[in-house]
Amino acid sequence: MKDVKKIAVLGSGGWGTAMAMSAASSGHDVTVWSAFPAEIERIVSTGENPLLPGIKMPKELKFTSELKDVADAEIIITAVPSFATASVVAKLAEMGIPASTLLVNISKGFDPATCDRLSVTIQKALPDHTITVLSGPSHAEEVAREIPTALVAASSDKETALLIQQVFTTPRLRVYTNKDMVGVELGGAIKNVIALAAGITDGLKLGDNTKAALMTRGLSEIGRLGKAMGGSEKTFAGLTGVGDLIVTCTSMHSRNRRAGILIGEGVPVEEAIKIIGTVEGYHAARLAHILKDRYQVEMPIMDACYKVCYEGGNALEEVTQLMTRPTRHEDDDTWLND
Ligand SMILES: NC(=O)c1ccc[n+]([C@@H]2O[C@H](COP(=O)([O-])OP(=O)(O)OC[C@H]3O[C@@H](n4cnc5c(N)ncnc54)[C@H](O)[C@@H]3O)[C@@H](O)[C@H]2O)c1
């Protein structure tokens, strides 16, 4: 298998930096790029990324705000929020990189302009490149502290998935492969909406029963849309499905959940998003709403989140609406064909 040395990460946020630290810890030559020189100056001058407070950057990790510094990387990772992925890969395409450069997306969400999965957006900008999605239950704060974590490398090309698995596996980061890019990306993008909803129920001071029901029925919705879009049902029972849902809905590391808590406590939605920062679930709620109509899939929790986020819906009333829907069988298919 090819020996990879040079890796670049686009985006100096918490997640890009944590993955850069992990790759550097296994001997790779890693450079983190940011479009914002001030971010880079601050990290270099303090030896810390303010998005990962208290964690010292390893000396061997390089930082730059010049895109040309990453042009010779063998692997380029995209780690900017989903709304910025298209503009960042457009810059890469304009600069020109060799077709052999492997692209790995670790952001979670949809392209806000097209509703595309992010790997599709990247492929459109750089059609000659092979793309892998690296996703799973992972808080940047924990990966940066080398807390054992498992991820999934999804690619339609088996050799590439195996190579990415080999490159990113460390004694603290276990990487599985999966050929189902649709399922892996969908799970990662839509669980953020469920996490926002889980936070809302926490903010409303509802209980563990409510959250368990929300997560489980939320997973059904993810699976329903995922299947309609061509994903495999098995993927949603795996790390990037139920695994990512658990980690996001139950942790205070999750900005989606924290934004939800504020909303549940009565903070206006836009103010809550401003306070927390990158809240992918807020954007994904709008895009999932478009996708569920496009694929004709029933997603009542998504509808409720959309109403709260974009139509001024009252969170507690939406909970009542969900609880008083017509009763049904738990499983989508059972009895329909009997
Ligand atoms: N934080 C996590 O634990 C975690 C884990 C897995 C996946 N993710 C995903 O990774 C992505 C990034 O999350 P994060 O937590 O690192 O976000 P962040 O808010 O910590 O950082 C985002 C970084 O992206 C860059 N950026 C922001 N706007 C940009 C623009 N318009 N143009 C170019 N670059 C821009 C900046 O360098 C910024 O620091 C998100 O899609 C998120 O869902 C995050």
Q: Once rounded to an integer, what is the mean pLDDT over residues 18-43?
A: 98
Nearest CA-CA partner of 207 in 264, 162, 278:
264
pLDDT given for residue 2 in this prediction: 80
**What pLDDT, in 10s, does the model give residues 213-264?**
999 999 999 999 999 999 999 999 999 999 999 999 999 999 999 999 999 9
Nearest to 80 by CA among 8, 10, 132: 10
pLDDT at 333 over 90: no
CB 49 within 8 A of CB 76: no
Q: Which amino acid is at 243?
A: G
pLDDT tens track for 106-143: 999 999 999 999 999 999 999 999 999 999 999 999 99
Protein residue with least CA distance to atom 4, ligand 1: 15
Q: Which of 108, 191, 211, 292 is catalytic?
A: 191
> Above 80 in pLDDT, residue 100?
yes
Provide the token pair at 258. Answer: 């924290």
- CATH code of 188-323, in short, is 1.10.1040.10
pLDDT band at 332 (very low <50, low <70, confident <90, very high): confident
Residue of 9, 15, 246 to test ligand 1 pocket, by largest number of atoms within 8 Å of CB = 15
Q: Is the pLDDT of residue 335 over 70?
A: no
Residue 83 has pLDDT above 80, yes or no: yes
How does pLDDT run across 249-302, given as a tens digit for each residue?
999 999 999 999 999 999 999 999 999 999 999 999 999 999 999 999 999 999
Do the beta carbons of residue 253 and residue 234 sit within 8 Å?
Answer: no
**CATH H-level superfamily of 6-179:** NAD(P)-binding Rossmann-like Domain (3.40.50.720)
Q: In which band, very low, low, confident or very high, does the pLDDT at 68 lie, cut at 50, 70 and 90?
A: very high
> Could you report the per-residue pLDDT of 305-330, keeping only the tens digit for each?
999 999 999 999 999 999 999 999 99
pLDDT (tens digit, 9 = 90+) per residue, 197-215? 999 999 999 999 999 999 9
* Angle, helix 280-294 to helix 208-228, in steps of 10 degrees: 50
* Residues at CB less than 6 angstroms from ligand 1: 11-16, 34-36, 39, 51, 79-82, 84, 87-88, 106-109, 138-140, 277-278, 280
pLDDT grade for 336, boundaries at 50, 70 and 90: low
Q: Which of 231, 220, 226 is nearest to 328 (CA)?
A: 220
List where CATH 3.40.50.720 sits in the chain. Answer: 6-179
Note the pLDDT tens digit of each residue in 166-185.
Answer: 999 999 999 999 999 999 99
* Per-residue model confidence (pLDDT) at position 337: 56
191 is catalytic: yes
pLDDT tens digits, 189-199: 999 999 999 99
pLDDT of residue 42: 98
Intervals of CATH 1.10.1040.10 along the chain: 188-323
Q: Which of 231, 215, 214, 199 is nearest to 297 (CA)?
A: 231
Q: Average pLDDT for residues 100-108, to the nearest whole number?
A: 98
In this predicted structure, the answer to whether residue 334 has a pLDDT above a threshold of 90 is: no
